[in-house]
A and B are shown apart, each in its own frame.
Chain A
Amino acid sequence: MLIEELDILKNTVLGEIDLIQYSERKKLADIRVRVFGKNGTLTLISKGMRDVEPQDRPRVGALINEVRNAIENSLAMKENQFKNQELNEKLENEKIDITEPAKCQSKGAVHPISDVIDKMIDICVKMGFSVVEGPEVESDYYNFEAMNIPKNHPSRDMQDTFFINDNILLRSQTSAVQAREMEIRKPPFKIICPGKTYRNDSDSTHSPIFHQLEGLVIDENVSMADLKSMLTILMKRLFGEDTTIRFRPSFFPFTEPSIEVDVSCPTCHGKGCSLCKSTGMLELLGAGIVNPKVLEISGIDSKKYRGFAFGFGLDRTAMILNSIGNIKYLYKNDIRFLDQMK
Chain B
Amino acid sequence: MKITYNWLKEMVDINISPEELAKKLTDAGMEVEEICYQNKHLHHVVVGKIIKIEKHPEADRLVVCKVDIGNGVVTQIITAATNVFEGAVVPVSLEGADLVNGIKISKTKMRGVESFGMFCSGEELGIDENYFEGAGVNGILILPKDLKSGTAIEDALMLNDVVFDINITPNRSDCMSVIGIAREVCALLGKDLKKINLNYDIDVYSKDVVRNFVNVEINTTNCFRYMAAAITNLKIERSPLWLRARLNAVGIKPINTMVDITNYVLIEMGQPLHAFDKDNIKGQQINVRQAVKGEKIVALNHNEYELNEDIMVIADNSQPMVIAGVIGGVDSCITDNTSTCILESAIFDLKSIRITSRNIGVRTDSSARYEKGVNVANAEMGLARALHLVSKLKCGKVARGVIDICNKKNEAREIVCSVKLINDILGIEVPVSEMTRILNSLGIETKATGDKLCCKVPPYREDIENDYDLAEEIIRLYGYYHYDDIEYNLFDKASVTEGKNHPRLSLEREMRKSLIEQGFYENISYSLVAEDINKKLMLDEDENKIVKIANPISEDISCMRTSLAHSLFQNINYNLSVGNKNMRMFECGRIYKAKSIPLNELPIEQNLLAIAVCEEGFDFFNLKGVVEKLLSFTSADYSIKRSSKPFLHPGVSADILCNGNVIGSFGKIHPIVAQNYDNPEYVFYAEIDTEFLAELPVKVMKVKAISKYPIVERDLAVIVEETVTCEQLLETIKSACGKLYFSVALFDIYRSANVGNGKKSMAFKIKLSDLEKTLTDDEVNAVMKKVLKALTFKHGAVLR
Interface residues of A (CB under 8 A from B): 105-111, 113-114, 118, 121, 124-133, 135-139, 151-155, 157-158, 162-165, 168, 170, 188-190, 196, 198, 200, 202, 208-209, 217, 219-230, 232-233, 244, 246-251, 253, 256-259, 289, 291-292, 306, 330-336, 338-339
Contacts and interface: CB of A to CB of B under 8 A. Distances in A.
A164 B605 CA distance: 15
A111 B170 contact: no
B520 interface: yes
A249 B521 contact: no
A106 B512 CA distance: 15
Contact of B551 (A158, A200, A247, A253): A200
Contacts of A138: 602
Nearest to B580: A335
B652 to A, nearest CB: 22
Interface string B593-614: 0000011001101000000000
Interface stretch (B133-141, B146-154, B485-493, B679-687): B485-493
B169 interface: yes
Interface residues of B, number: 90
A229 B494 CA distance: 11
B426 interface: yes
B375 to A, nearest CB: 14
A224 B726 CA distance: 66
A335 B557 CA distance: 22
B468 A292 contact: yes
Contacts of B505: 121, 131
Nearest to A117: B505
Contact of B550 (A137, A165, A208): A165
A106 B373 CA distance: 61
Contacts of B49: none
30 contacts: A108-B520, A108-B521, A129-B499, A130-B499, A130-B501, A133-B502, A135-B605, A136-B590, A154-B173, A155-B170, A158-B170, A162-B551, A163-B551, A190-B497, A202-B553, A209-B527, A222-B493, A225-B490, A229-B489, A230-B491, A232-B487, A249-B476, A250-B29, A256-B471, A256-B472, A257-B468, A306-B424, A333-B525, A335-B575, A336-B580
Contact of B512 (A110, A137, A248, A306): A110
A291 B171 CA distance: 14
Contact of A108 (B172, B488, B549, B584): B584
A220 B28 CA distance: 28
Given A137-B603, A226-B494, A229-B486, A108 B515 contact: yes
B371 interface: yes
B602 A168 contact: yes
Given A135-B605, A154-B372, A125 B500 contact: yes
A292 B466 contact: yes
Contact of A248 (B373, B466, B480, B490): B480
Given A249-B475, A306-B424, 17 more contacts: A108-B518, A125-B500, A128-B497, A128-B498, A130-B498, A137-B547, A137-B603, A152-B351, A163-B549, A196-B527, A200-B553, A223-B425, A224-B483, A225-B428, A249-B480, A251-B169, A256-B472
Contacts of B354: 152, 154
A108 B519 contact: yes
A30 to B, nearest CB: 47
Interface in B564-587: 571, 574-575, 578, 580, 583-585
A112 to B, nearest CB: 9
Contact of A105 (B491, B512, B518, B592): B518
Contacts of B498: 128, 130
B509 interface: yes
A105 B428 contact: no
A259 B373 CA distance: 23
B427 A225 contact: yes
Contacts of B261: none
Contacts, number: 254
Contact of A333 (B171, B476, B524, B605): B524
A291 B557 CA distance: 35
Contacts of B605: 135-137
B548 interface: yes
Most chain-A CB neighbours within 10 Å: which of B27, B169, B517? B169
Interface string B457-498: 000000000101101100110001101101111110111111
A219 B495 contact: yes
Interface of B: 26-29, 169-173, 350-351, 354-355, 371-373, 424-428, 466, 468-469, 471-472, 475-476, 480-481, 483-484, 486-491, 493-502, 505, 509, 512, 515-528, 547-553, 557, 560, 571, 574-575, 578, 580, 583-585, 588, 590, 592, 598-599, 602-603, 605
A224 B501 contact: no
B499 A125 contact: yes
A333 to B, nearest CB: 4
Given A111-B524, A208-B553, A157 B585 contact: no
B519 A110 contact: no
Closest 5 CB pairs of A and B: A225-B427, A223-B427, A249-B29, A251-B169, A257-B472
B166 to A, nearest CB: 13
